[in-house]
Chains A and B, each alone.
Chain A
Amino acid sequence: KNEVEQSPQNLTAQEGEFITINCSYSVGISALHWLQQHPGGGIVSLFMLSSGKKKHGRLIATINIQEKHSSLHITASHPRDSAVYICAVPVSQSGGGADGLTFGKGTHLIIQP
C-alpha cells in the first residue's frame, strides 16, 4: 500500500510570493494527482502527471519518479489561491488507480493580501 507524505501541513504567505508544496510517496506509481479544495467546497483535480512537468496558468507541477517526489508550485500567489492542496497516488502499483487513490493529509495554504 502506498503511503503519502505532504509538507508543509500549513503555509501562510503574502500575495505575490512563490509557493512550493511537496509530496513524497513510498511505492512506484503510474500517475500522481494534485487536487484543490476551497473551504467548504468540493474537490477539484488540478493535475495528473506521470513524468516531468505540467503547467496550467500560474500553477506548475513536477514529478521525479526515481525519487518518488512531486512538487506543486504557485507563481505570483493571490488570495484566491487560499485552499487546501492535496496530493494523491494510486492505492496499489498494480491497480493503476482503478482500485482508488491514497491521499496526503493536505497542505492548508493562506495567501494574505
Chain B
Amino acid sequence: DAGITQSPRHKVTETGTPVTLRCHQTENHRYMYWYRQDPGHGLRLIHYSYGVKDTDKGEVSDGYSVSRSKTEDFLLTLESATSSQTSVYFCAIKSSGSYNEQFFGPGTRLTVL
C-alpha cells in the first residue's frame, strides 16, 4: 500500500469553516498529489508537490491551498469550506522517474453542510 495514510477518514463540517486534510507517507517519495473524486467528473487534480516547499496548482485548485514542510506530510486546506467542496479526497504518491506508478491513499470523505 506504499505506506500512505490520510486523516481524517471522514469529516462533516459546516460552510465557512476551515478544514485541513493530512496525507502522510513513510517511504520518502518525492512527488505527492491531492485529487478529488466526484460523480460525473471522476478524479481531478487539485494540487501537487515535487519536493519540500515545492508545490503547484492542478486543474481544480480554486478554494484550496497546500503545504509541504516535511517530505512525509502533504496538507490540503480549505480556508472556508463550501458545499461544492463536498467530495472524496485522495492523496497519491509517485516515486522519482517519469514512468513510475502512482499509489493512492485510502481517501477522506468530506461533507460540507
Let me know if A86 and B43 touch, CB within 8 A: yes
Task: Tell me if A100 is interfacial: C-beta within 8 Å of chain B.
Answer: yes
User: In angstroms, how far is the closest chain A Cβ from the Cβ of B33?
Assistant: 5
Q: Taking CB as reference atom, which chain B residue is nearest A46?
A: B101
Within the assembled complex, what's the spacing in Å between the Cα atoms of A43 and B44? 14
User: In angstroms, how far is the closest chain A Cβ from the Cβ of B30?
Assistant: 9
Let me know if B45 and A101 touch, CB within 8 A: yes
Within the assembled complex, what's the spacing in Å between the Cα atoms of A76 and B90? 31
Within the assembled complex, what's the spacing in Å between the Cα atoms of A100 and B59? 10
Known contacts A86-B43, A100-B33, A105-B42; is A50 also within 8 Å of B99 by CB?
Answer: yes
Q: How many A-B residue pairs have CB under 8 A?
A: 66
User: In angstroms, how far is the closest chain B Cβ from the Cβ of A4?
Assistant: 9
Task: Tell me if B103 is interfacial: C-beta within 8 Å of chain A.
Answer: yes
- The stretch of B18-26, B64-72, B75-83, B104-112 in contact with A is B104-112
Residues of A within 8 A of B (CB): 1, 30-31, 33, 35, 42-45, 48, 50, 86, 88, 91, 96-106
Which residues of chain B are within 8 angstroms of A100 by Cβ–Cβ distance? Answer: 33, 35, 45, 48, 58
Q: Is chain B's binding surface mostly helix, strand, loop or mixed?
A: strand
Task: Tell me if B14 is interfacial: C-beta within 8 Å of chain A.
Answer: no
6 additional A-B pairs beyond A99-B58, A105-B40, beta carbons within 8 Å, are: A33-B102, A50-B99, A86-B42, A91-B59, A97-B102, A101-B45
Q: Taking CB as reference atom, which chain B residue is nearest A43?
A: B104
Let me know if B40 and A33 touch, CB within 8 A: no
Q: Which of A42, A45, A104, A106 has the most CB of B within 10 A?
A: A42
